[in-house]
Amino acid sequence: MLEEGTGPNQNPTYELNNPDDELVFTFEAGNDVWLDVENGDGESFYGAILTSEESPMELDLTGQERVYFNVGSTPNLQITVNGIELEYPVDPNESDVQRFWININQTSE
């Protein structure tokens, strides 16, 4: 479940609680879209233009505790987390470029 929280910077932060055993993000681009994905330590998982020909693209981020997204052309990129569509912090028609964090909270039941 994603819940909007506050982060240490100006970028919105979401809380993802109790994800499945796997944490797979799928990115589906309608047109060319700039996409940066990195963890809280600055390790980059993707940093390039994602084209519709390369779409959909999956990133397995299982085991990550914090993930940063920098998306250009948000109206042209759909992001799903374990098959559930992610809603952008701001309506993509109002803000073309969006940057946000997702904190992944693994808790045992």
Q: How confident is the model at residue 94 (pLDDT cuts 50, 70, 90)?
A: confident
Q: Which two tokens stand for residue 71?
A: 């998306």
Per the structure, the count of domains in the chain is 1
Tell me the C-alpha distance between 1 and 16, whole Å: 5
pTM: 0.85
pLDDT at residue 20 is higher than 80: no
* 3 state SS of 52: helix
Residue 61: name the closest of 86, 32, 89, 33 by CA. Answer: 86
Among 15-19, 42-46, 90-94, which range has the highest average pLDDT? 42-46
pLDDT of residue 9: 42
- Average pLDDT of the chain? 86
Q: How confident is the model at residue 21 (pLDDT cuts 50, 70, 90)?
A: confident
Q: Which two tokens stand for residue 19?
A: 């994800």
